[in-house]
Amino acid sequence: MPQVMEFKLPDLGEGLTEAEIVRWLVAVGDVVAIDQPVVEVETAKAMVEVPCPYGGVVTARFGEEGQELPVGAPLITVAVGAEALPEAPAAEAEGSGNVPRPLIGYGTDHSRPARRRRVRPVTAEVSAPTAAPVPVPAAAPVAAGPAGPAGPVPVISPLVRKLAKDHGVDLRALRGSGPEGLILRADVEAALSALRAPEPVAAPAASVAQGERIPLKGVRGAVAEKLSRSRREIPDATCWVDADATELMAARAAMNAAGGPKISVLALLARICTAALARYPELNSTVDLEAKEIVRLPAVHLGFAAQTERGLMVPVVRDAQSRNPESLSAEFARLTELARAGKLTPADLTGGTFTLNNYGVFGVDGSTPIINHPEAAMLGVGRIIPKPWVHGGELAVRQVVQLSLTFDHRVCDGGTAGGFLRYVADCVESPAVLLRSL
């Protein structure tokens, strides 16, 4: 007899305790290989695929798309053993031996597994007795078709037969929506829904005025919690200055004209930030409330704000202080692409020590951003546009940008914050200042 193994939602790491089911990648009755992704989930940090450490036949799924499950909750059950795999080698039914661990790097093979296979349907009489685990609905309801032929019915799952028998559904009256007319659980549930569907009731007029309710969960919930905590705990202050970025833009154009990888404005600003943080390390720190200490951090892990379809994300460039503009440009591009594709891992989104926020891409000049807790500061950059400017004692049209620094007043006073921002502005106005400090 095959052994039924229960696979639970593994530890997601990074302090995350739950995940929302976005999309099931397998159905009841599918044959899965060891370490094959079986479900796509969304955490407060990223969207990831969860691989199953067992190979065999999926006998049950737990949870519907859109439902949140805590770590340790059952995801699927898998029948493991040669008897469960009439078309698969017995070796594939064995478990991988993996103990669930943080989702990053979970599984034994990082390559994409083979496509899933479905067990060949078998014929069984409707009255065949059986026992099966009790799963949640495995698929969205499918409308029942007209009556099929009399006699044996194409059913693969004993669970489907039991469900039909318990609720008095004649499987011979259904047309299966699966391959070769296979009757699925969804077909039985659709028939039950059609029998039990209540008459539609008009909603009270008062409910229309209540507005739409959007759950604060996933990425939006995580952002809301972090921003609220920042406001509760951090006594922040903001200072700002306008800077003439004409020379910086000219330097970038010259660098890109020389050939090689293109350098982004964000990369140049990031390089300026790391040089400024070397001079003012108070702003690359965090506050330990329990120990009542300010912790100055040795490395600059630079976060940058990226707007995606899933909401605002802040990917982190590790050890930004040791990167040149080319390396920074490449890393910004890589992380931005992953963010837009929804493939950032929790590790890509945590551990930042300072954030660079280029809100100029939205066509605005200034902002007072909320600090990305538990960091101590954030540099905001507005759009770079032509403006009247006094240059060399004469009025001229120059490329002007507004810079703003929001900082934790517990880690430094205005003199330090002003010194940091002034140094950044000086480097923007005259990139030679940065070269002299290297």
Is residue 229 domain-resident?
Answer: no
- CB-CB neighbours of 102 under 10 Å: 15
> Are 171 and 187 contacting, i.e. CB atoms less than 8 angstroms apart?
no
Q: Give the whole-angstrom CA distance, residue 236 versus residue 370.
A: 8
Averaged over 44-64, what is the pLDDT?
87
Is residue 214 domain-resident?
Answer: no
Is residue 206 domain-resident?
Answer: no
Q: Are residues 185 and 271 in the same domain?
A: no
| pLDDT number for residue 107 | 39
200 pLDDT more than 50:
yes
Number of domains in the chain: 2
Is residue 148 domain-resident?
Answer: yes
| pLDDT number for residue 202 | 52
Residue whose C-alpha is closest to residue 31's, from 71, 70, 73, 79: 79
pLDDT digits (tens, 9 = 90+) for 9-47: 987 665 667 888 888 999 999 999 988 999 988 876 677
Q: Are residues 169 and 242 in the same domain?
A: no
Q: Of 146, 169, 196, which residue is a domain's last? A: 196
Q: Give the whole-angstrom CA distance, residue 59 versus residue 130.
A: 13
Q: Give the whole-angstrom CA distance, residue 123 versus residue 149.
A: 13
Q: Are residues 136 and 278 in the same domain?
A: no
Q: Are residues 24 and 119 in the same domain?
A: yes
Q: Give the whole-angstrom CA distance, residue 230 versus residue 226.
A: 6
Q: Are residues 37 and 85 in the same domain?
A: yes
| pLDDT number for residue 249 | 96
Q: Give the whole-angstrom CA distance, residue 437 versus residue 431.
A: 10
| pLDDT number for residue 238 | 96
- DSSP type of residue 155: B
CATH number, position 127: 2.40.50.100
Q: Is 413 a catalytic residue?
A: yes
92 pLDDT more than 90:
no
Residue range of the domain that includes 137:
3-196
Q: Are residues 167 and 314 in the same domain?
A: no
List 167, 187, 413, 426, catalytic entry: 413
Least confident range from 104-108, 117-121, 156-160, 169-173: namely 104-108
Is residue 115 domain-resident?
Answer: yes
CATH number, position 369: 3.30.559.10
Alpha-helical runs (H) found in 180-310: 185-196, 205-208, 218-233, 246-257, 265-279
**342 versus 88: which is more confidently predicted?**
342
| pLDDT number for residue 216 | 81
> Are 29 and 122 contacting, i.e. CB atoms less than 8 angstroms apart?
no
Report the mean per-residue pLDDT for the chain: 80
| pLDDT number for residue 380 | 96
Is residue 391 domain-resident?
Answer: yes
Q: Of 142, 172, 196, which residue is a domain's last? A: 196
% of the chain with per-residue pLDDT over 70: 76
Q: Is 373 a catalytic residue?
A: no
Averaged over 379-408, what is the pLDDT?
96
Q: Are residues 331 and 187 in the same domain?
A: no
pLDDT digits (tens, 9 = 90+) for 250-290: 999 999 998 888 999 999 999 999 999 999 999 999 999 99
Q: Are residues 239 and 129 in the same domain?
A: no
- CB-CB neighbours of 202 under 10 Å: 5
Q: Are residues 183 and 293 in the same domain?
A: no
